[in-house]
Amino acid sequence: MKEDGAFLARKLIYTEQGKRWLSQFDDLDQEIAILLANSLTLISHNEFRRNLEKNLEEAAAEIDGPIALYAVRELPKSAPEKWMTPQPIPFFSCTIPSPDGRSVGAVDATPDLGSEAIVAQIIRQLARSNPIKFLNHPTLAEMRDRRCRAIFLVDDLIGSGNRVRDFIASLWLESTIKSWWSTKHIAFHVIAYSSTESGMKSVQRHKSKPTVLVHRDATSFDSLPIKPEKRDSIRKLCREYGRRALKGRKSMWFGYKQGMCSIVFEHGCPNNTPAILWDFKDGSPGWRGLFPHRTVSTAVASVFPPEIVRGDTAALLRDMGQRKLAKSGALSRTGETGKTILLVLAMIAKGHRKRSAICFATGLSSKDCERIVERCIKWKFLSPQRRITPEGLAELNAARKFRVLEKATVERGTDYYYPRQLRQTTC
């Protein structure tokens, strides 16, 4: 796994926009601001499209029959009385059917389109490439005629989960769809590139019992695999400078629903990231976000890596307090898989057990993170509860004792990783 993509992402702070953003912080706070910017996971168009399509195709392979695809977006709501909380309205009553009556509009009739426009384009291309399997925003009549077996709701990021839940609720109000679901003729699936842990749980609690599939878990700044005092400093920075950026909107200092999300797409910055990243305010004192108005300029987009990769392993280990392991020669004597396993063991030994944190540190997808963890459990380095075992600690201690070779060149390690505690049984 290459690491150059991670270094490319670290150039964000050296773009002209990055320099202007950094100059707004006091000298003593700039180091933490740089840490915040360098801790962002930047998702390029190529990375987003390729893996979202892959998720859709893998999920579709499990469905025997046609699938209706819909891009998740904000839908209109209504309330019988002014004092009541607005609720979603039936989906097909707030959409515009096509002239042939076989599909509905994928996006709102407005120039201010969000991620749903890009998702709708992906859906359109899938439907064109395989029209028998995929239906592009079909009407109820089209779903009935084609005997749909599943409804796929597609999004880029499940943040708080509110938008996806409202979209499902709108479809759930259609009595025909609810009837198909109750008789097990149709099932709901939510397919997204990424999701927060709380957002995924919120969506899964809906009455329709949707299956949620994501490519990568979204990391929060509050769960970064770094020392607790650094995480506290990032939160303090977001609060202090959020007061300057959004003085009258305290609820957004840490992002929508206090998300503190650390993922940014090339097509836009989510609003559940800290406000100091995306707010733009003229006047004195003003504020210019790193992604003003949640947009990504061409210059800033140039530092988005083509694909997500693992960062500097030694630096990650130092950040989480594993200094001896960071200096160890074991990192240069093992292959990429070995580095990843040592990194995962070191993280869990320090209490970083969340899959989102492992995704952030390793650059792996959620599925690949599960595979690595399962391998560690099989080797008894981790317990089934994903806690470090004595064997796992012994493996880390053995790695710490490796000396760095003094030769100018080091023989490249193999991708096959043989645990030091199990060599007699695996070699």
118: domain CATH number is: 3.40.50
CA distance 351 to 347: 6
Q: Which of 260, 281, 301 is the last residue of a domain?
A: 301
DSSP 369-393: HHHHHHHHHHTTSB-TTS-B-HHHH
Q: Are 40 and 234 in contact (CB under 8 A)?
A: no
In this predicted structure, what is the pLDDT of residue 405? 54
Residue 63 shares a structural domain with residue 210 = yes
Nearest-10 Cα torsion for 228, 232, 234, 235: 140
Residue 284 shares a structural domain with residue 203 = no
Residue 231 shares a structural domain with residue 210 = no
SS3 of 185, please?
coil
Query: For a pLDDT cut of 70, what percent of the chain falls above it?
Result: 90
What element of type H or E holds 34? helix 30-38
CA distance 372 to 347: 13
| Angstrom distances, CA of residue 136 to CA of 86, 147, 157, 208 | 28, 14, 20, 21
303-332 mean pLDDT: 86
Residue 106 shares a structural domain with residue 192 = yes
In this predicted structure, what is the pLDDT of residue 425? 43
**pLDDT at 196 exceeding the cut of 80:** yes
DSSP 223-263: G-SS-HHHHHHHHHHHHHHHHHHSTT-GGGTT-GGG--B-E
**pLDDT at 218 exceeding the cut of 60:** yes
Q: Mean pLDDT: which of 76-80, 128-132, 402-406 is highest?
A: 128-132
Domain that holds residue 99: 45-217
Residue 20 shares a structural domain with residue 62 = no
The single residue listed with the structure tokens 């733009």 is 280
Residue 342 shares a structural domain with residue 383 = yes
Q: Which of 260, 276, 301 is the last residue of a domain?
A: 301
In this predicted structure, what is the pLDDT of residue 68? 97
Report residue 383: phi and psi, to 5°. Answer: -80, 165
Q: What band does 404 get if pLDDT is binned at 50, 70 and 90?
A: low
| Of 8 and 311, more confident | 311
In this predicted structure, what is the pLDDT of residue 112? 62
**pLDDT at 284 exceeding the cut of 60:** no
Domains of the chain: total: 3
171-188 mean pLDDT: 95
Q: Residues 6 or more apart from 78 whose CB is under 8 A from it?
A: 86, 87, 89
CA distance 296 to 113: 14
**pLDDT at 7 exceeding the cut of 90:** no
197-221 mean pLDDT: 95
Residue 329 shares a structural domain with residue 369 = yes
The Cα angle at residue 322 between residues 321 and 325, in degrees rounded to 5: 165
Residue 34 shares a structural domain with residue 108 = no
Question: Please, which residues bridge with residue 76 across strands?
Answer: none
Q: Residues 6 or more apart from 135 whose CB is under 8 A from it?
A: 66, 67, 68, 69, 103, 127, 142, 143, 146, 148
CA distance 67 to 213: 15
Give the pair of three-digit tokens for residue 67.
């699938």
265-281 mean pLDDT: 91
Q: What band does 110 get if pLDDT is binned at 50, 70 and 90?
A: low
Give the pair of three-digit tokens for residue 313.
């392993």
The single residue listed with the structure tokens 């990032």 is 234
In this predicted structure, what is the pLDDT of residue 313? 85
Q: Which of 301, 328, 343 is the last residue of a domain?
A: 301
The single residue listed with the structure tokens 């996006």 is 107
Residue 308: inside a domain: no
DSSP 261-308: B-EEETTB--TTS-HHHH-EE-SSS-EE-SSGGG---HHHHTTS-SS-
38-67 mean pLDDT: 95
Report residue 311: phi and psi, to 5°. Answer: -80, -165
**pLDDT at 206 exceeding the cut of 90:** yes
Residue 17 shares a structural domain with residue 64 = no
Give the pair of three-digit tokens for residue 190.
């939510």
Q: What band does 406 get if pLDDT is binned at 50, 70 and 90?
A: low
Q: Residues 6 or more apart from 262 whose CB is under 8 A from it?
A: 39, 40, 41, 218, 219, 220, 221, 224, 273, 360
How many other CB atoms sit within 10 Å of the CB of residue 83?
6
317-337 mean pLDDT: 85
In this predicted structure, what is the pLDDT of residue 1? 40
Residue 204 shares a structural domain with residue 236 = no
Residue 284 shares a structural domain with residue 409 = no
